Amino acid sequence: MQRHLTAFVLSLAAGAACATDVTVATWNLGWHLDAPLATRWIAACGQRFSKSGAGELWRPDPSGPKTGWQLRWGRDAKIEWDIGQLPPCDVWQSRHKPVAVTEAALAKRRQQIAAVLATQVNADVMAFQEVSSVQAVREVLPDGGRDYEVCGFTSHKVQRLAFAWRRQVATAVGTCEVYAPLALPERPAKEQPRPGLSVALRIGGKVTRFMTVHLKSACVSPLEGGGNGNGRGQLAGDDPACTVLQAQLQPLENWLQERSQGVGGVVMLGDFNRNLAHEASLPANAPVRSRGQASDPYTAGVRSNSLWREVNDGVPSVSLLTLVDTTCPLNEDTARLCKDAKVRVLDQPEMARLTDAKALGCRNPIGLDHIAVHLPAGSGAAVPVAEKVALGFLGRTLESGDQRPDPLLAVSDHCPLKARLPL
């Protein structure tokens, strides 16, 4: 009798473990460097630069007239600098001018990130984008990551990806895998976007495969461009950023088709740099491709109008993902704006209300970060919503002054996104 009772209790415990919900989160930490690399970066930006004439590059020169903090940066800035190895010097700005960063300011920022992760995010599995290393993640985890496993990579460029998960909740099956095809390795190194990173985790007796991405930026919404097929945000158009993102669709779908098989569930999350809710809001009968169906094999010259419907065509069926709905439960106005933003482009005053320090606080509050899932068979639970974590005043940058010897740095230009999933 005792033996049967023990077996019954163990069976109940196993079932309960399988049914336990897991908090999953994604956060783009905005050029987050580990402490040693941050020291190198501060020194590099603090050096002096000069140029020999109009149209020439600014180059390091001990007798130069300006420091790196004083230069005009931006895309394709005329500065001898490899942003694949070190961030530009204008990552943090106040009143549209670069802020000269100090070691003390970055130390304060690390403490603030750690507080957000510990008290507001408090996730079991976390995906990070724009981190330089595993060490960079450990420096902001509670207790130095004592209760977490962390994986990442050191190849490719300094904007890297990483995972962290609680040891008591999940166990890795194999090692983390860098998915290089997403970086379009056939292109020149300077033109390559970021790779993907995946890990399989055993949670509650089932294996779930996670994939985090940070896709090409600046091709955000199909609702942009005023109907111009080649305008900003038109994925099938000729905009340079959109053509790069277009090239990432096939490798992303290949990963989903291949790696979704043989596991209980799939979670794809991260900074997609694409408003998937806008894509999902378009008419269901809108053509996905310029020719043929989304489920057809790829053909040279054929372009897709929708990242979400192209990649997520449900072939094979185990690869079919559900986009987790996002809410902003801070207050009534913020919640309404976040809801409206799923079906239209917010105007500047509306975006200002979302990015305000009394609201979400982050400069890129919505539309870029997503969580999509294929839940384990038999989970029996509806897909829950994901919540935006407000950064509030932690999302602002303030320059140093008489009363403040070190600047205050925004913890990120993105707000964390978290969801409770039945894995």
**Cα gap 317→369, rounded to integer Å:** 24
- Domain assignment present for 400: yes
Q: 308-326 burial by CB neighbour count: b if 16+ within 10 A, else e?
A: bbbbbbeeeebbebebbeb
Residue 423's pLDDT is what? 87
Give the other-Cβ count within 10 Å of 3's Cβ: 7
Least confident of 73-77, 123-127, 186-190, 324-328: 73-77
pLDDT at 409: 98
For a pLDDT cut of 70, what percent of the chain falls above it?
A: 93
pLDDT of residue 375: 82
Percentage of the chain surpassing pLDDT 90? 82
Domain count, the chain: 1
C-alpha pair distances (Å), 80 with each of 62, 68, 158, 240? 14, 10, 17, 23
What distance in Å separates the CA atoms of residue 171 and residue 203, rounded to the nearest whole number?
7
pLDDT of 46-65, one tens digit each? 999 999 888 899 999 999 99
Question: So what's the pLDDT on residue 310?
Answer: 96
Task: Report the chain's mean pLDDT, rounded to a whole number.
Answer: 92
Residue 398 located in a structural domain: yes
- Stretch 373-402: mean pLDDT, rounded? 86
pLDDT reported for residue 377:
64
pLDDT computed for residue 145 by the predictor:
92
Length of the chain equals 423
Q: What is the DSSP string of 141-208?
A: SGGGGTTEEEEE--SS-SSEEEEEEETTT-EESS--EEEGGGG-TTS-GGG----EEEEEEEETTEEE
Segment 255-277 shows an average pLDDT of: 96
The reported pLDDT for the residue numbered 419 is 97
Mean pLDDT confidence for 367-375: 95
CB 371 within 8 A of CB 269: yes
> Which of 224 and 389 is assigned the larger pLDDT?
389
* Residues whose CB falls within 8 Å of the CB of residue 397, separated by 6 or more in sequence, listed in order: 92, 93, 94, 99, 407, 408, 409, 410
Residue 267 lies in a domain: yes
For the chain, first and last CA: distance in Å? 33
Residue 187 structural domain? 21-38+100-421
The model's pTM is: 0.93
> Does 9 reside within a domain?
no
Domain assignment present for 81: no
Rounded Cα gap, residues 376 and 20, in angstroms: 12
Q: How far apart are CA 139 and CA 105, in angstroms?
A: 15
Question: Given a cut of 60, is residue 385 above it in pLDDT?
Answer: yes
Lowest mean pLDDT among 23-32, 104-113, 285-294, 412-421: 285-294
Instruction: Decide if 179 contacts 255 (C-beta within 8 A).
Output: yes
Between 375 and 113, name the one with better pLDDT.
113
Those residues whose C-beta lies under 8 Å from the C-beta of residue 4, and which sit 6 or more positions away, are: none
CA distances from 141 to 20, 163, 172, 412 (A): 23, 12, 18, 15
- Whether residue 10 is predicted with pLDDT greater than 70 in this model: the reply is no
So what's the pLDDT on residue 300? 87
The β-bridge partners of 129 are: 28, 161
Which pLDDT belongs to residue 118?
A: 97
Is residue 17 predicted with pLDDT exceeding 60?
no
Selection from 87, 100, 89, 94 nearest residue 130 by Cα? 87
Name which residue leads in pLDDT, 62 or 14: 62
Of 289, 155, 141, 267, nearest to 203 (Cα)?
Answer: 267
Task: Name residues whose C-beta falls within 8 Å of residue 288's C-beta, 6 or more positions apart in sequence.
Answer: 294, 304, 305, 306, 309, 310, 313
Please name the residues in contact with 203: beta carbons below 8 A apart, sequence gap of 6 or more.
20, 22, 169, 170, 423
Pairing of strands 22-32, 125-131: parallel
CA separation for the pair 29, 214 (Å, rounded): 12
Compare 262 and 381 and report the one with higher pLDDT.
262
- Taking the C-alpha atoms of residue 329 and residue 336, their distance in angstroms, rounded to an integer, is 9
Report yes or no on 12 lying in a domain. Answer: no
Q: Is residue 215 part of a domain?
A: yes
pLDDT band at 234 (very low <50, low <70, confident <90, very high): very high
CATH of the domain at 179: 3.60.10.10
Q: What are the pLDDT digits (tens) for 115-132?
A: 999 999 999 999 999 999
pLDDT, tens only, 204-230: 999 999 999 999 999 999 998 765 677
In a domain, 311, yes or no: yes
Residue with tokens 């750690």: 114
Higher pLDDT, 380 or 112: 112
